[in-house]
Copies of this chain bind each other. A is one copy, B any other.
Amino acid sequence: MTRPAPWQTAETCGTRQAGIIKGPQVLAALLKKARHPLMLVGNQGSRDPEEADEALNAVIFLAQKAGISLVASGKAVLSCRERGLSPDSTIPATDCANRLSDPAWAGVDGKGPHDLVFIIGLPYGMEWTLLSGLKNGAPALITVALDRYYHPQASWSFANLAHHEWLEMISETTRVIGR
């Protein structure tokens, strides 16, 4: 198995690295198999504002189309609501990750355990760390880092894409699952 370098170069993780999301079909397939997916949206703190805006549009649209439960961390709740999607919860990302590591958690919407989680928009180091917590504490959970940066701690991640490439991927995924 060969893998790219983490976006923050030093944030390597050990022996197991995320698989690369090579195309929209990967995401679509993951979604198709998932019984109860969750999306955790952070505050896009370090992103260029314009880019962050487009990114939020894209992933919230995806969540809507795919009927994914939503947790927004902190102020991200406002961004979601602006886009017409009310998050199912506003618990802190840390709290959310901890609960996800409990296979008996009733889920953010009370509809039972989640088997797949998309994470996007947290500070890189924090997302990397929470993904690590899930890799270690929730071995059965599939984690997808949805940012354009490679996140080795996830089960699946994009491989340091340019913003426009990434946008294209997400939109295409939305189209694919919409069919």
Encode A157-169 as 1/0 by CB contact (under 8 A) with B. Answer: 0000000000000
State which of A3-11, A54-62, A68-76, A78-86 sits at the interface with chain B.
A3-11
- How far is it, in angstroms, between the C-alpha of A14 and the C-alpha of B5 when the chains are bound? 10
Interface hits, A1-50 → B, CB 8 Å: 1-5, 9-10, 12, 14-15
By the criterion of a CB under 8 Å from any partner CB, how many residues of chain A are at the interface?
A: 10
Contact of B15 with A12 in the complex, beta carbons under 8 Å: yes
Give the chain B neighbours of A5 by CB distance below 8 A. Answer: 1, 15
Q: How many copies does the complex hold?
A: 2
Contact of A15 with B10 in the complex, beta carbons under 8 Å: yes
Q: Pick from B2, B10, B12, B15: contact of A2, CB below 8 A.
A: B2
Give the chain B neighbours of A9 by CB distance below 8 A. Answer: 15
